[in-house]
Structure 1
Amino acid sequence: MLQAFLAGLALGGGLIVAIGPQNAFVIRQGILNSYVFWMCLLCSVSDAILIWGGTFGLGTLLALLPQLLTVMRYGGALFLLWYGIKALLRALHPHALEESPEKVRSLASALALCAAFTWLNPHVYLDTVVLAGSIANARPAGEQAPFALGASLASFIWFFAIGYGAKALRQPLSQPSVWRGIDFAIAAIMFWLAVKLLIGG
């Protein structure tokens, strides 16, 4: 059981550290010191739901509904393009960090945006539901739950680490030149991921 737990923890850690829209958004919210706990919690719980769903049958449902992933593919690409344009505009027309309109966004709107980064990204389903679920189910009987628990814990550790890590480094990261570079980087990540979705699926 412990071996299955550690295997899930290692797999979850390997999957989640890839640069993606969730990570970029959580880091930005951490620097803004804006609802950091709730953003980290939403991303972590979402990953856990998908990992456990994949472990216990959600992957089969997705295999039966390939058109669902196609819809999410194009919807997710449009969403990433929109957010990338916003980040690029912020970088081209920089303002003080404390004056950012995103600092005063309501909790509900911040959660909605964070949820969109999670649930509209088809790659999240491929990593958590399909890949993690398949590996979990390839393990001996009785090891699925410990494996899913380990993979889920990796998400909690990662998101809270980057969220509160960014918050702790808020002072050096909020310098105008650094902040502008972060927005350029976020825009590049969003555009790259959107293009990947559009041309590569």
Structure 2
Amino acid sequence: MNALLTAGAGLMTGAALIIAIGPQNVLVLRTGVARRHVVSVLAVCTVSDLILITAGVAGLGALVSGHPTLVTVTVATVVGGGYVIVLGLLAARRSLAPSAMTITSGGIGGRWATIGTAMALTWLNPHVYLDTVLTLGAIANSHGPQGKWEFAVGAGIASVVWFAALALAAVKLAPLFARPRAWRILDALVAAIMVTIGASLIISVW
């Protein structure tokens, strides 16, 4: 019973940290709507999340909390923020050129380019380390040697379920995006979100 409660706490905490509009979620949404490379992006996002959760629970969260300079590296934060802003500006450009957007493309490139983008959005985002490694790792370790792994199982389930559900919902919305106007609106929203996230990362170092 205690194991289920601990796993449930991990599931709720993991969901709270994952279910937020961020670069990863935006990419899953776009690939799902375009129906291109969805499985590849899901694999990158979920496997990366599981690796980060495991690292945090294994003790990296406690290590980083004792040495905060490991995650609050100014250069890494600025580079990550700048990368996200560039992606936002590319989305803004797409929103101004609707004739280039169709349901078969939706601004999504080739498989390996999309996988590379998913990797970069995951591993170059400082928030991932602060949320998944530090925060989740610290909370998990507070449940003790055995409980922290039960907590990790719950957090891992939350990650897998969320990304799969987001992609499925996006695929279901695909018919709506048969019209270029819908892509314009989506990309305008994506641009605003990306630029805001990137700017907040860069501003946070000052």
State the TM-score, normalizing by the size of structure 1.
0.93
2:20 aligned residue = 18
Are 1:192 and 2:196 counterparts?
A: yes
**Unpaired runs of 5+ in structure 1?**
none
2:55 aligned residue = 53
Are 1:81 and 2:85 counterparts?
A: yes
Would the aligned equivalents of 1:26 and 1:162 in 2 still touch at CA under 8 Å? yes
**Worse-superposed segment, 33-42 or 67-76:** 67-76
Q: 1:162-197: CA deviations, max 9, x gaps? A: 112101210013422221110000000111001110
1:28 aligned residue = 30
Deviation of the 1:48 alpha carbon: 1.1
How does 1:1-201 map onto structure 2 within 5 Å?
1-63=3-65, 64=67, 66=69, 69-70=72-73, 71-95=75-99, 96-98=101-103, 100=105, 102-103=107-108, 105-201=109-205
Task: Give, in whole Å, the separation in 2 of the partners of 1:66 and 1:136.
Answer: 21
Q: 1:78-113: CA deviations, max 9, x gaps? A: 10111011000000111231463744x332211110
Task: Give, in whole Å, the separation in 1 of the partners of 2:68 and 2:204.
Answer: 19
Find the residue that maps to 2:144 and give its secondary structure.
coil
Task: Give, in whole Å, the separation in 2 of the partners of 1:188 and 1:91.
Answer: 11
State the TM-score, normalizing by the size of structure 2.
0.90
Letter in 2 for 1:100: S
| Root mean square deviation, CA, Å | 1.7
Deviation of the 1:60 alpha carbon: 4.2
**Unpaired runs of 5+ in structure 2?**
none
Change in Cα spacing, 1:67 to 1:55, as seen in structure 2 (3 Å) is closer
Change in Cα spacing, 1:148 to 1:196, as seen in structure 2 (3 Å) is same
Would the aligned equivalents of 2:53 and 2:133 in 1 still touch at CA under 8 Å? yes
Number of equivalences: 200
Q: 1:118-142: CA deviations, max 9, x gaps? A: 1111111111011100100111331
Q: 1:25-81: CA deviations, max 9, x gaps? A: 110011111110111121111111111101112224445372554232111111011
Deviation of the 1:22 alpha carbon: 0.5
**Worse-superposed segment, 140-149 or 154-163:** 140-149
